[in-house]
Amino acid sequence: MSDQKELVISSGDQLLQATTRRKFLGVMGVGGAIVFLPSVFAACNNDDNNGTGVVGGGTAAQFTLNLSDDTGILNYAYVLEQLEAAYYTAALGSPGFAALSANDQEVLNDLQKHEVIHREFFKMVLGSKAIPAIVFNTTTVGALTATKDVLLKTSQLLEDTGVSAYNGAGKYLTSSANLLLAGKIVSVEARHAAAIRDIRDGANGRLFAGDDVINPQGLDVKAEPSTVIAAVGGLNVLVSPVSIGTGPNAAIKSADTPAPSPS
């Protein structure tokens, strides 16, 4: 292959490697060709490599959440933190990121660190009860970071979704220590959401806590786990089959506010 003119990608994971990303951008910059070997798409479409029902590094059963106890709720949080961490990690090498101002890049850099810390924190807290590492569709993630606009819009969606998820799940935690941990994280997610929204807002000054997310009672978004998992599924970024097996305590369910949908 001629230097800097052609790049051969044989697996989705390669797109997440820094060296590959740099080559990718370099090749794109000179109008070269990116060759995706069939193996990339095979990996995206079906990770059942050994025919045992093991998909994306774990079985469907292992990705089935039991939200009837705190462990399940923390695993639910772990799903979201895995998604955010994977997304921002990919984003840092994306064309969308490269197009951001230095100030806005500082935001994305901070968010990536915080979300990876959250992910690794939940992994350690949950220990042997943690769900496996989720496999993400790198093609979709790539599309969602391809431009500055789609990067910021997706970041806003992820952060607002995180806020709504934690706000809706707190009531299901039975340990005050776990509730406090969730509280320590949700306010950081809310800071992120406000920062991303503010970037997208220009000089308007209201979107950080806009009327699309704060209702007339002054309450932020909240969503039940079923709503959140469905919304996350709708992003088409999860390869691993995350689902809810047992729902949370039905006696204390509450209505969702409209799902955040950045315009």
Residues that bind other proteins (CB under 8 A): 103-104, 106-107, 110-111, 113-114, 116-121, 124-125, 163, 166-168, 170-171, 176-177, 179-181, 183-195, 198, 201-206, 208-210, 214-222, 252-257
In this structure, the number of other CB atoms found within 10 A of the CB of residue 122 comes to: 22
Least separation in angstroms between residue 258's CB and other proteins is 9
Give the residue with the Cβ less far from other proteins, 23 or 192. Answer: 192
Residue 98 CB-half CA count within 13 A: 11
Least separation in angstroms between residue 170's CB and other proteins is 5
Least separation in angstroms between residue 184's CB and other proteins is 4
> What is the DSSP-derived secondary structure letter of residue 135?
P
Give the residue with the Cβ less far from other proteins, 185 or 235. Answer: 185
Give the residue with the Cβ less far from other proteins, 33 or 230. Answer: 230
Give the residue with the Cβ less far from other proteins, 47 or 104. Answer: 104
Tokens read off for 176 = 């005050």
* Long-range residue pairs from 49-58, CB within 8 A, at least 24 positions apart, any chain: 55/135, 55/239, 55/240, 55/241, 56/132, 56/134, 56/135, 56/239, 56/240, 56/241, 57/132, 57/133, 57/134, 57/135, 57/240, 58/131, 58/132, 58/133, 58/240
Residues 34, 39, 43, 44, CA torsion sign: positive
DSSP result, 159-220: HHHHHHHHHHHGGG---HHHHHHHHHHHHHHHHHHHHHHHHHHTT---GGG-TTTS-TTSPP
Least separation in angstroms between residue 28's CB and other proteins is 27
The closest alpha carbon to 183, from 194, 193, 169, belongs to: 169
Least separation in angstroms between residue 122's CB and other proteins is 10
Rounded CA separation 149/178 (Å): 36
Give the residue with the Cβ less far from other proteins, 50 or 128. Answer: 128
Least separation in angstroms between residue 94's CB and other proteins is 18
Give the residue with the Cβ less far from other proteins, 27 or 199. Answer: 199
Least separation in angstroms between residue 191's CB and other proteins is 4
Give the residue with the Cβ less far from other proteins, 40 or 193. Answer: 193
